[in-house]
Structure 1
Amino acid sequence: MEAKWRIVAVTAVAPIAWGATYVVTRHLLPADAPLWGAALRALPAGLLLWALARRRPRGAWWWKAPVLGMLNFGAFFVLVYVAAQLLPSSIAASIMALAPLALAGLAWPLLAQRPTARWAVGAALGLAGVALVVGLGTGAVPLAGVVASAVALLASSLGAILTTRWKDDTPLLATTSWQLTAGGLALVAVAVMVEGAPPTVDATGLAAYVGIAVIATAVAFVCWFTGLRHLPAGTVGLIGLLNPVTGVLLGVAVGGESLATPQALGIVLVLVAIAVSSRARSRNLPPRGAPGERPDPAQRRYDRSDT
């Protein structure tokens, strides 16, 4: 059980880092170049991890890496950008908070991970917590924004599940680097067509781009994919709810925003949801990967340690 909680802690680094990017982006980066912001986040992170992994794709990874790169980064970042332009932030965050349900729903047929009653309780608490944290949007909601946000959610969820299903003995650092590089190249192409030349920033902005690329992307996605290798997908989805929680807390600490009582209650509910789900034992068949792939021994070890 102690080993499993270490994996939970490692996985939590990802949504916490992503939540921190809201404050950094809002205060230090140009607001009129979101696509370049995504491209300059993904591509440098991919090249950095590739330099560390020192390994080129082989065999099926020549097509798997671009597919995963588009789902996890390229298409996802573009659709999130479209949704952010059309929807209130509270509505967009609420739709993306459905990630635990999407991950668990896809993990059942594709990974044979059957959600448990304990996980269902955790999911209900987590969704209620996020609703309290981000608040409820009012007024008319553009259908195009809802569709863009929902497709982004499904794309990233499918990418996460396929990342787990297609895992083999290739080092995680290498597969993550290939995905980021492929997705980053696609984002550069879209950014050039939509926004033109990359934005000019000062030394502070450059440092912010480097921090987001290294910490909130390279390190964060290695941690995220580590969680997907060793924990049930639904549990990883609930850990991801730390993303909006971190954004709200940093807004209070750095941006001078206030924390209302319902938000504080929502944060508590999210933390309880993660604790409840992390203790749940996934009633799943042996993990399925690529045809002929052996189940990960580490995964079996964590499954046995569940209580």
Structure 2
Amino acid sequence: MSASETRAPRSGVTPDLAPDLAPDLAGVGFVLFASLAWGTTGTAASFAPGVPAVAIGAAAMGIGGLLQALLAFSSIRACRGALRRQRLNLVLGALGVAIYPLAFYASMRLAGVAVGTVISLGSAPLLSALIENRLEGRRLTLRWASGAAIGLAGIALLSMGGGAHVETGGNVVAGALLGFVAGGTYALYSWTARRMMNDGIPARATMGATFGLGGLLLMPVLAATGAPFLDSAINFSVGAYMALVPMFLGYVAFGQGLSRISASMATTITLFEPVVAAILAVIVVGERLPAASWLGVALIVLCLVWTTAPLPGRRGRLAGSGPGFRTRR
């Protein structure tokens, strides 16, 4: 599906009267791949304990963003006029890209891995839908709300059940607030990218420009904190993997997904990320998860299925009871 096929509804057609159609399965698949890749970051970072978390975030998102821009250079150049018209969304998205990894890793450092991860990832779908609701007037659908509630309950059980060796920082309140900043900036750059794609800018140009500019903003942070990457081959390998796989390939796939499904649905699907992280912690790191955590895994999988699976006999029903907001022409 081209980006032009996912434009906002024509004037005079309200979003809440749009037909409830099944989400684009290719878009769901792209976002799911991104979630799988992102779920490996915690395990990968555990192999470089001497590298500051902020440095890992700056390297992963910064270098990954610059690689995206390099890959999309010809597309960015061809779309420079359209990107100039969308410069406000581009700048806002780039700021979101730059702030997100710093807030996310600082949240885990201050409040502990469990609290930081739950708030950062769990708040993103809610904040994404809120942005769409307030800035686009799109109705918060019953199906999305119930799916998000199931997913958030799963994340809470997954983190509170124990199993992970979590060290809680000394300022939980500040860490929690930074978690909401991370969730908000994640929702923000997802929304701005979607807006640019709806304006006809291809996914490659949109994501390349947004993450390239965000990556440039992160370079001073990496320069100031990234020296430990050069201390050993393992540290360097961890940094290279984080930049190339989760952040480069992951966000390329995420951009393709955003060109096909709504930002709120995309961020809801990424609730699968902590499931991957938990499974890898058991298999690779050797952690043990109690029954409550496995129940959380099951709830997140249920959220994924409920939010994305097509419902029979729903064509023509109001979007207020459907999974997303997207319309087709």
Q: Shorter-chain TM-score: what band? A: 0.7 to 0.9
Cα gap change, 1:192 to 1:203, in 2 (>3 Å): closer
- 1:178 alignment partner, one of 209, 220, 245: 209
1:224-303 matched pairs, under 5 angstroms = 224-279=254-309, 283=319, 300-301=327-328
Give the match for residue 74 of structure 1.
98
- 1:35 alignment partner, one of 35, 54, 60: 54
TM-score by length of 1: 0.82
1:101-250 matched pairs, under 5 angstroms = 101-135=126-160, 142-167=172-197, 168-193=199-224, 195=225, 197=227, 199-250=229-280
Q: Secondary structure at the match of 1:98?
A: helix
Partner amino acid, structure 2, of 1:93? T
- 1:98 alignment partner, one of 115, 123, 148: 123
Alignment partners' CA distance in 2, 1:25 and 1:233? 28
Partner amino acid, structure 2, of 1:14? A
Q: Secondary structure at the match of 2:319?
A: coil
TM-score by length of 2: 0.77
- 2:39 alignment partner, one of 1, 19, 26: 19
Percent of paired sites with the same residue: 28
Alignment partners' CA distance in 2, 1:242 and 1:41? 20
Q: Secondary structure at the match of 1:241?
A: helix
* Unpaired segments ≥5 residues, structure 2: 1-20, 163-167, 321-325
Alignment partners' CA distance in 1, 2:118 and 2:220? 29
Q: CA deviation at 1:111?
A: 3.6
1:74–1:184 CA contact under 8 A, matched in 2: yes
1:130–1:266 CA contact under 8 A, matched in 2: yes
Q: Secondary structure at the match of 1:84?
A: helix
Q: CA deviation at 1:187?
A: 1.6
| Per-residue CA distance 1:278-305 (angstroms, 9 max, x = gap) | 1378827xxxxxxxxxxxxxx544xx9x
Q: CA deviation at 1:40?
A: 2.1
Aligned length: 286
2:59–2:239 CA contact under 8 A, matched in 1: yes
Cα gap change, 1:186 to 1:139, in 2 (>3 Å): closer
| Per-residue CA distance 1:46-79 (angstroms, 9 max, x = gap) | 33223322233442355543331111x2111121
Alignment partners' CA distance in 2, 1:136 and 1:258? 10
Q: Secondary structure at the match of 1:32?
A: coil
1:115–1:283 CA contact under 8 A, matched in 2: no
* Unpaired segments ≥5 residues, structure 1: 285-298
Partner amino acid, structure 1, of 2:44? V
Alignment partners' CA distance in 2, 1:253 and 1:63? 44
Alignment partners' CA distance in 2, 1:70 and 1:179? 9
2:203–2:259 CA contact under 8 A, matched in 1: no
Q: CA deviation at 1:250?
A: 0.2
| Per-residue CA distance 1:121-168 (angstroms, 9 max, x = gap) | 211211111111111699986322222221222122122112212323
Q: Secondary structure at the match of 1:240?
A: helix
| Per-residue CA distance 1:247-283 (angstroms, 9 max, x = gap) | 1100011011112211111111111111111137882
